[in-house]
Amino acid sequence: GYFFSRWAKCIHSSHDLSDIVFIDNYIFNKDVFIQFNSTVGEFVGYTELGVFNARKWNSDSGRLQSESAQVERYCKHNAEIRQAAIADKT
């Protein structure tokens, strides 16, 4: 059988969230074949299929804008909620 998954994560170390990074991994059979990193600002392919898709997806400005917007929409929104919950407990 085949195994496909998509794993998105947000990474930051500062309390003001100024260094937050959004990473979106596309995984096939436990290997990342393409990845979007908000610091890089585009998709990077790691396999033949990943390189093919990266070229295609990077030429779509709407898709790149949507992925880049995840920093504000997904990462910062959730990080602020979590930090508020943690700060209320200390």
Rounded-to-integer distance, Cα 34 and Cα 51, Å: 7
Whole-angstrom distance, CA of residue 40 vs CA of residue 75: 16
pLDDT (average), residues 37-62 = 97
pLDDT at 88: 67
pTM for this entry: 0.86
Taking CA atoms, 16 is separated from 12, 46, 73, in Å, by 9, 32, 16
H-helix segments, 1-90: 48-58, 61-70, 77-89
Q: What average pLDDT does the segment 50-55 reach?
A: 98
In the predicted model, what is the mean pLDDT of residues 63-87?
90
Mean pLDDT, the chain, as a whole number? Answer: 93
The stretch 34-43 carries a mean pLDDT of: 97
